[in-house]
Amino acid sequence: MDLLLLEDDADLGQAVADHLAAAGHRVRWCRCIAEAEAAPVADLALLDLRLPDGDGLALLRAWRAAGQASAVIVLTARDQVSDRIRGLQAGADDYLVKPFDLDELLARVDAVARRALAPQALSGGTGGAGAARTLRLDVPAHQAWRDDAAIDLTQMEWAVLACLAQRPGRIYSRGEIEGRLAHAGLADAASNSLEVIVSRLRKKLGAETISTHRGLGYRLER
């Protein structure tokens, strides 16, 4: 899973990044808000609050206001109940107080990921007799079914679908999707344009599954 770690403490940041990478996650470590704002969209962000160039909670609010759907775990020394409430109200999925055990952090990452990326059932279109068709996705397992029939997708197709599936019904811009591909090391993996990949997904998943919004981007329909 792609993780964004925003932590300015060098020792803690290195320890967290190493521990999560050893568990198989891809970690992009940012030391300040400016770096995090320029980073590609990740599946999950680990967010410190006291940063050299601003407040991490303000960044979280800005992400949510902009429709950023990535799961977020706040990592902070602020241990008051009121602090945790503000973090959760700002859009955090979990809140872990420093100092913390690295194995507990890993367990929380896995738990939040299971909730955020759980298999989803999306209704759309009709069958030959007018019956509703259902698309089911298990993004972490790279499995998709249309009316209980398994669908094979390429690595590039999964990368695009995983971005859209973060929040069905939300429009994702070309920049957000291409940022995800770049973060996954797939920016140059194929010469096909994003339009071609989306076209292939529609053929496999159903033409009604992904909608195009001119000048805005693409949306996975609910």
Domain-by-domain residue ranges, the chain? 2-116, 120-220
CATH of 120-220, one of 1.10.10.10, 3.60.15.10, 1.10.150.170, 1.20.1560.10: 1.10.10.10
Tens-place pLDDT, residues 120-167: 555 544 343 334 457 787 776 778 888 778 889 888 888 888 888 877
Tens-place pLDDT, residues 35-77: 999 888 888 999 999 999 999 999 998 888 877 778 899 998 8
Q: What is the pLDDT of residue 72?
A: 92
Grouping H, G, I as helix, E, B as strand and the rest as coil, residue 81 is helix
Fold annotation for 2-116: Rossmann fold (3.40.50)
Q: Which residue has the tokens 């690295």?
A: 102
Whole-angstrom Cα distance, residue 44 to residue 109? 8
* pTM, full prediction: 0.59
Mean pLDDT of the chain: 83
The more confidently predicted of residues 114 and 109 is: 109
Other beta carbons within 10 Å of 114? 10
